[in-house]
Amino acid sequence: MQQQSIHTHQFENGLMLIVEEMRGLQSAAFSFLVPAGSIYDGSGKNGVAAMLADWITRGAGPHDSRELTATLDNLGISHSESAGSANVTFTAASVADRITDGLAIFGDIIRRPHLEEDQFEPVKLGAEQSLIATEDDPQRKAMVELRRRSFSAPWGLSSDGSLEDLPSISADDVRSHHDRCFHPNGAILGVAGNVDAQEVIDAVAANFGDWEKKPNTVVEPGDRGEKRSFIEHESAQTHIGISYDSVSFPDPDYYAAWAAVSVLSGGMSARLFTEVREKRGLCYSVYASQSSLKHEGQVLCYAGTSNERAQETLDVTLQELKRLGDGIDESELQRCKARAKSSLVMQQESSRGRAGSLARNWFFLEQIRTLDDVRQKIDALTIESILDYVHRRPAQDFTVLTIGPEQLTVNE
């Protein structure tokens, strides 16, 4: 088993750094979380964070857009930038000896982006095309709309933005978002791979040590959306979204909650697939996933079916969600554990996956769960512990959204 060596270091400006030395790898990666996600977009400006994540790499520091791209390519650094609900995330991976060069370049990207006017219109057009694509994909739209109704505002907002708000977003709105939300206090940097922790600390100090603090932006939870929603859409298919309350990521019941959902939807042998699709042939797609935030959680479910079988699909899916409390087979538990352990092995062999896990762990828990910690949590799961959780937190009080030609009836 690969030896794990994890180091944490908090800089005076509040930036939190976690480094895991993984000597058996030839690569290294980092995941940088900046507290500037869509929950900070502001009223009527949903999409600002997503547009910034695109615009921010179009020129930074001494490099214009083309030079910046060429510099990253020449170093062999693969990277991505994305906006989530709480953070804008920057990820980068390379051979191990180039990772400090990557940190220097992203020091410019994060702290000194050009955000030039002539680059804004392509960014806005790209955002529009992405949002139109969502409108044209009812399955994706169903989950976006379900999430908006399931979580407290503004956590339910789409991190991609909305077509309704897009026309009102200006270049200055996006620049203001960067000025207001990009700061070291609350930012988290996870680095993993064949690196020396002290060398990484020194590189981060050189590129981010003088980054100035700013006031934290406070977000107050608002209301959730409506429990029953129907979006009329003329089509041969009906799309069904179902959600119900679960636990937050820091909750002690998180692993039991995750396991319960894995029994429902953890592969082709899981309950929803076998009972709703295979045995009854009701739908072409059905799944559920655990979606946990820092302060709340939901189980989000989807089923896509023909109009003729839509009502039966909804009824049977709800029945299967509620039936989980009747019992779990040992084979279901073992499949759940096997999938989880396979995921851990993959993460152990991936610097990019581990860097992301380090940063997310600190964001949610303000501590690090090692891979061995997670493995022990999984090994400790039993049928009794999962059922105890399901009985305490049963599937009930559903939020249901449907997209199709006819409204369905929810029979709880």
Q: pLDDT tens digit string along 209-256?
A: 999 999 998 898 888 999 999 999 999 999 999 999 999 999 999 999
Q: Indicate the SS3 state at residue 314.
A: helix
> Model-level pTM?
0.93
**Mind listing the domains of the chain with CATH numbers?**
5-208 (3.30.830.10), 228-404 (3.30.830.10)
Lookup result for tokens 């988290």 = 188
Nearest CA to 358 out of 342, 347, 349 is that of 347
| pLDDT, tens only, 295-341 | 999 999 999 999 999 999 999 999 999 999 999 999 999 999 998 88
Mean pLDDT of the chain: 95
**What distance in Å separates the CA atoms of residue 288 and residue 290, rounded to the nearest whole number?**
7
**What distance in Å separates the CA atoms of residue 213 and residue 198, rounded to the nearest whole number?**
23
Residues in Cβ contact with 16 at an 8 Å cutoff, skipping those fewer than 6 apart: 8, 9, 10, 187, 188, 189, 362
Q: Give residue 3's pLDDT.
A: 42
**What distance in Å separates the CA atoms of residue 146 and residue 51, rounded to the nearest whole number?**
23
Q: What confidence tier does 269 reach under pLDDT thresholds 50, 70, 90?
A: confident
